[in-house]
Chain A
């Protein structure tokens, strides 16, 4: 994406363009065009895309700096910028944020524990009906999340009526719901990287005396790790941002961050919601930068299959 030839444009004057057009040849390599319109168009389009993608965040962060009186709508640009709302974030939101981080982290972990062996089985296993199994692992992505949420709630009622163990409104119940939608991402990214995996690496490891377990730990796992990171990141984000499933499986006093924000917006909106949202944006930015340092974002995104 980076363009480093920008100073080439200055060497062409409009006079150059006239002579170049006059000397247009019918055969051979195409002559250089006078002005790099293609490049300008490229810049223009990239700028538009960035504006489109970044403007909501800029508005949220900007409006969170609102320094005036209490105001019931988003005000952008903010007048008298201050950080006052950052000190007024309700305790409930911070608790919900803590729950969401914990839940998303455990979801990413659980998705890896289920997803890596599943992907290995799908790619390597000599089991009949592999296409079916792989389709089953993709299925959660094809069901609208709100349907999944209702289905889980219904399931928990039925299960509870039968056994007396009610999962709705418990951490475990919520966790299972999140695992359900997050695991396919890990299966997808790990499958993608395993399909390109050179099995000779494992044969080399065997020939050097390494057992199957040791080969998996020292060779296979490190080589597929970029796919695992990518899948885990997706799983984390899916869990962290989920509303449609969580809204059915949480209970008063036990809510995830997006649900808490949702209620906050509905009932008593104030700019502290914007402030806490901005904090999350900054935190995510930090995590992404950390990932970039750790594994390289390119590898991460390239290994993603979807």
Chain B
């Protein structure tokens, strides 16, 4: 177990640049998730740490050792693949013991360690079976056990739950997190599923087109997205395009949908086009005359509603490209489509995003 450091790492495939000068520091024992859409460079980053591919420029440190030029078999990593990649011709015990046998441990020690790991993943009975004879979720846990059998400096997981169905995925998220914390192992996890990232990670790195967009805790990323991409990719958000027109005390004034709204921004913002992000659950229905003074208020018309069990989503046309989505309790939701409504939200809950 060690910390991992990538410094100014560039990866090009021919003319295509998959990673632009990536700097990333992963702390010892941390569960870090690389989150992004396909093609954003997250898997490339993982494969660089694993050593399956070499960076075009930059250095990769594993603990105190520069491993940039070290072959994967000498890096002491653990890797879990999306399709598990268990060896089909070996029993599950042989799969888990593979790395130990490779390092010439005595048979009895290997057997003891395999037994210990089978207990850790709660599958003590399956040692003599073959991978094809157990379920997908079980194969996934076995793949994790195999990766950590010889304690790796870092555990790398490439969309390990991608092939499982939703229910199993949720159980496995808890399970993987438990195993990671029990072993206190530095982990880099790749996914395109933001819920998964938020459920499991100590820290999330949101990536797009080969660059880091933002990194931070799940709360930090969700509540204070720094870019339009992050705001849009992580959770649902209403993006109100507008223009910065000036300041009003601590607030920046933004003109959108023919209304001035106020946004807190400590560093100020240049006059010109901008975008304000508001989460659906932060929006409330208000009456236009009795809204609290620290609220932004917009006028609109109800154009649709969907019921989602614990809440109802209302779609409100305010004069922008897309209707605004707001979430409210089902009993508070108006039923007549077409009525005029006022929506509001506390000033401090809107985020100014660069275009």
- Real complex partners, A and B? yes
Instruction: Tell me if A211 and B73 are in contact (CB < 8 A).
Output: yes
Partner of A203, one of B79, B86, B88, B149: B79
Beta-carbon contacts under 8 Å, B76-108 to A? 76-79, 81, 83, 85-89, 98-99, 102-103
Instruction: Tell me if A200 and B81 are in contact (CB < 8 A).
Output: yes
* A203 and B78 alpha carbons, distance in the complex (Å): 11
B37 adjacent to chain A (CB < 8 Å) = no
Partner of A223, one of B51, B72, B88, B147: B88
Partner of B102, one of A198, A201, A214: A214
Given A208-B99, A208-B102, A210-B102, decide whether A203 and B87 contact each other with a Cβ distance below 8 A: no
Instruction: Tell me if B98 and A200 are in contact (CB < 8 A).
Output: no
Q: Chain A nearest CB: distance from B153 CB in Å?
A: 12
* A50 and B81 alpha carbons, distance in the complex (Å): 47
Instruction: Tell me if A200 and B102 are in contact (CB < 8 A).
Output: no
Query: Mask for A183-226, Cβ within 8 A of B = 1, else 0?
Result: 00000000000000010110111111111101100110011010
* A61 and B89 alpha carbons, distance in the complex (Å): 40
B307 adjacent to chain A (CB < 8 Å) = no
Q: Chain B nearest CB: distance from A217 CB in Å?
A: 11
Instruction: Tell me if B103 and A209 are in contact (CB < 8 A).
Output: yes
* A209 and B78 alpha carbons, distance in the complex (Å): 9
Instruction: Tell me if B87 and A207 are in contact (CB < 8 A).
Output: no
Beta-carbon contacts under 8 Å, A259-295 to B? none
Q: How large is the interface on B (under 10, 10 to 19, 20 to 34, 35 or more residues)?
A: 20 to 34
* A144 and B178 alpha carbons, distance in the complex (Å): 66
Partner of A209, one of B50, B81, B102, B156: B102
Beta-carbon contacts under 8 Å, B57-73 to A? 71-73
Chain A residues within 8 Å of B85, by CB: 198, 200-201, 203-204
Chain A residues within 8 Å of B156, by CB: 207
Nearest B residue to A215 via CB reads B73
Q: Chain A nearest CB: distance from B84 CB in Å?
A: 9
Q: Interface of chain A, helix or strand or loop or mixed?
A: helix
* A218 and B99 alpha carbons, distance in the complex (Å): 11
Instruction: Tell me if A207 and B103 are in contact (CB < 8 A).
Output: no
Partner of B150, one of A203, A209, A212, A214: A209
Partner of B72, one of A198, A201, A207, A214: A207
* A223 and B51 alpha carbons, distance in the complex (Å): 24
Given A198-B85, A201-B85, A219-B87, decide whether A206 and B102 contact each other with a Cβ distance below 8 A: no
Chain A residues within 8 Å of B51, by CB: 206
Instruction: Tell me if A201 and B103 are in contact (CB < 8 A).
Output: no
Given A203-B52, A219-B87, A223-B89, decide whether A208 and B146 contact each other with a Cβ distance below 8 A: yes
Nearest A residue to B101 via CB reads A218
Chain B residues within 8 Å of A203, by CB: 50, 52, 72, 79, 81, 85
* A215 and B50 alpha carbons, distance in the complex (Å): 16
Instruction: Tell me if B89 and A205 are in contact (CB < 8 A).
Output: no
Instruction: Tell me if A201 and B147 are in contact (CB < 8 A).
Output: no
Q: Chain B nearest CB: distance from A108 CB in Å?
A: 22
Instruction: Tell me if A207 and B98 are in contact (CB < 8 A).
Output: no
Instruction: Tell me if A206 and B83 are in contact (CB < 8 A).
Output: no
**Sample (21) of A-B pairs whose CB atoms are under 8 Å apart:** A203-B52, A203-B81, A204-B79, A204-B85, A204-B87, A205-B87, A207-B50, A207-B156, A208-B78, A208-B98, A208-B146, A208-B147, A209-B103, A210-B73, A210-B102, A211-B73, A214-B102, A219-B87, A223-B88, A223-B89, A225-B89
Q: 7 closest A-B pairs (Cβ-Cβ)?
A: A208-B99, A207-B79, A200-B85, A206-B72, A204-B85, A222-B89, A206-B73
